[in-house]
Amino acid sequence: MAIELPENVVISKVDELANWCRKNSLWPMPFATACCGIELMATAASKHDLARFGAEVFRFSPRQCDLMIVAGRVVMKMLPVLQRIWQQMHEPKWCISMGACASTGGVFDTYCVVQGIDRFIPVDMYVPGCPPRPEQLIQAIIDLQDKIQLEGTVGGAEFNTWQLQQPKRALVELPVIK
């Protein structure tokens, strides 16, 4: 005996519904310095329109954010501030390291520039480039949304190693068109 449901009823798993809501409502916390900060601002502008991907609301209060975008170089003097902001963000939270300076220190191989923020806070996505293009940041946000959709709260889907070993879209080589 089949039960008919009204047209306005949707059946889903709680994990999938929660992750769908999380991935489509990212609130970024920009931590931008130097040239990568300009590219981050360009990503939110009308030409690239980050709002199409559910990440339009840049908040400058860590208690309202769930995504930190570290764009540009971070010096040792700013590191305690970065860590405090990261600790004040609520769970679940994610981090994107944007640019060569945030990821590896870039061309600034000095004692005062942090040689990669992943030594101090966990990073989910890296965006290469000096400075990276807005399209690269949008692709990183799309890949992060895919990662968020695979995470679980009850079933533990985030520990499925087969899905984690698949190449990311940003790393797959595209065919050469002649």
The answer as to whether 4 is a domain residue is no
Residue 51 has pLDDT above 60, yes or no: yes
pTM of the entire structure? 0.79
| Residue 85 token pair | 């902001």
Q: Which domain holds residue 55?
A: 14-164
The answer as to whether 5 is a domain residue is no
State the Cα–Cα distance between residues 23 and 15, nearest whole angstrom. 12
Which of 122, 152, 158, 128 has its CA nearest to residue 140? 128
pLDDT of residue 95: 92
The answer as to whether 78 is a domain residue is yes
Radius of gyration of the chain from its Cα atoms, rounded to whole angstroms: 18
Number of domains in the chain: 1
The answer as to whether 138 is a domain residue is yes
State the chain's mean pLDDT as an integer. 82
Which of 28, 43, 120 has its CA nearest to residue 82? 120
pLDDT of residue 127: 92
The answer as to whether 170 is a domain residue is no
Residue range 131-161, pLDDT digits in tens = 889 889 999 999 998 888 877 665 555 556 6
Query: Where residue 29 sits, what CATH number does that domain have?
Result: 3.40.50.12280
Task: Please report the sign of the dihedral spanned by the C-alpha atoms of residue 32, residue 35, residue 143, residue 59.
Answer: positive
